[in-house]
A and B are shown apart, each in its own frame.
Chain A
Amino acid sequence: DAKTTQPNSMESNEEEPVHLPCNHSTISGTDYIHWYRQLPSQGPEYVIHGLTSNVNNRMASLAIAEDRKSSTLILHRATLRDAAVYYCILRDITGYNFNKFYFGSGTKLNVKP
């Protein structure tokens, strides 16, 4: 299973940008980078994913390093509702492990008003 490393916790002020880092030095060429988040007392929800290029959607942006050994989830304007645990997951799109998601401990984001 591919491994990711994230800080245990981060803090942000409301309406300021947040950059959540993830290291994945053993990433393979067929691994996509997925981000999920888990709001308190809820199941995880999808945030964004990418392979090599930076990606944007309505929730966030994903910046991927050129060597793909790290990535950063960017919340452009944090709100109190963004307080959650954010998980960075590598997903192998080929072969047997395609549907095995491995969650690490994630980063707990605290947003201050």
Chain B
Amino acid sequence: NAGVTQTPKFQVLKTGQSMTLQCAQDMNHEYMSWYRQDPGMGLRLIHYSVGAGITDQGEVPNGYNVSRSTTEDFPLRLLSAAPSQTSVYFCASSYLRSGSKETQYFGPGTRLLVL
């Protein structure tokens, strides 16, 4: 299994540009999520999905859109990039079952710089 993969690894954008960060997993996980991590800080939840066609907002959703058309993919869209969105973005996935045993698996991250 490749696990959770993210592309691109690094991206530079100009203010106002749009882009999509890709995330894919091959573990048949129902749950997928996006986090951002600013320098020296912990991760903050942006959006998450509990299955194809179902998404919801996390802690910091403004400026980001998501959709989930397949189990495997969960892209994150920035419609009009702002310098405040400069961050490292992590995608994660896990099974969605009752109880606490489902750990999240994280991708390697996408480093985004908005000028």
Q: Are A43 and B107 in contact (CB under 8 A)?
A: yes
Q: Are A43 and B109 in contact (CB under 8 A)?
A: yes
Q: How far is the CA of A46 from the CA of B102 in the complex (A)?
A: 10
Q: How far is the CA of A49 from the CA of B33 in the complex (A)?
A: 20
Q: How far is the CA of A95 from the CA of B48 in the complex (A)?
A: 15
A-contacting residues of B (Cβ < 8 Å)?
4, 31, 33, 35, 40-45, 48, 50, 58-59, 90, 92, 94, 96, 98-101, 103-109
Q: Are B100 and A103 in contact (CB under 8 A)?
A: no
Q: How far is the CA of A99 from the CA of B103 in the complex (A)?
A: 10
Q: How far is the CA of A42 from the CA of B9 in the complex (A)?
A: 11
B108 CB, nearest partner CB in chain A, Å: 6
Residues on the A chain within 8 Å of B105, using CB: 46
Is chain A's binding surface mostly helix, strand, loop or mixed?
loop
Count A/B pairs, Cβ under 8 Å. 61
User: A43-B92, A99-B33, A99-B48 are contacts. A104–B100 as well, Cβ < 8 Å?
Assistant: no
Residues on the A chain within 8 Å of B59, using CB: 1, 100, 102
Top 7 A-B pairs ranked by shortest CB distance? A43-B106, A103-B42, A32-B100, A46-B103, A103-B43, A43-B90, A93-B100
B57 CB, nearest partner CB in chain A, Å: 10
Q: Are B98 and A42 in contact (CB under 8 A)?
A: no
Residues on the B chain within 8 Å of A105, using CB: 40-42
